[in-house]
């Protein structure tokens, strides 16, 4: 919000700043989560997320929130079944590395 607001108010007169504030607020309220994420340049203040969770009774560190998002909640995670090609690739790697040692396969 601050970044968008500061861009709009940079050259505005003091009398126009209130109108800019209302305009930016309306833009933010009308935006989808994906649009807001894009506006933030795909960055998140994980410390702030952690503090908000603490206020709701969930004690989580900023690192824990980040890891949870990356491993479970990120929209790019494919939750569908493996394709035949992925299955074959996994079997090939498992054979090369002597079993399903996930750390070796992931590298």
Q: Which of 21, 29, 25 is nearest to 12 (CA)?
A: 21
User: What is the residue-averaged pLDDT of the chain?
Assistant: 80
Per domain, the residue ranges of the chain are: 1-43, 44-76, 82-107
pLDDT at 1 over 70: no
Q: At what angle do helices 14-30 and 2-9 cross, to 10 degrees?
A: 140
> Tens of pLDDT along 14-59?
777 788 777 777 776 776 767 766 766 667 888 888 898 888 898 9
Whether this prediction's pTM lies above 0.85 is answered by no
Alpha-carbon span 11 to 45, nearest angstrom:
28
């Amino acid at each position: 919000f601050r970044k968008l607001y500061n861009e709009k108010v940079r050259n505005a007169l003091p009398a126009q700043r209130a109108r800019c504030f209302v305009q930016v607020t309306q833009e933010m309220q009308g935006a989808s989560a994906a649009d807001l994420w894009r506006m933030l340049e795909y960055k998140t203040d994980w410390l702030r997320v952690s503090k908000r969770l603490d206020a709701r009774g969930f004690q989580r560190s900023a690192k824990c929130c980040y890891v949870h998002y990356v491993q479970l909640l990120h929209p790019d995670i494919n939750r569908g079944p493996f394709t035949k090609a992925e299955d074959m690739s996994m079997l090939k790697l498992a054979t090369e590395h002597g079993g399903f040692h996930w750390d070796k396969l992931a590298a």
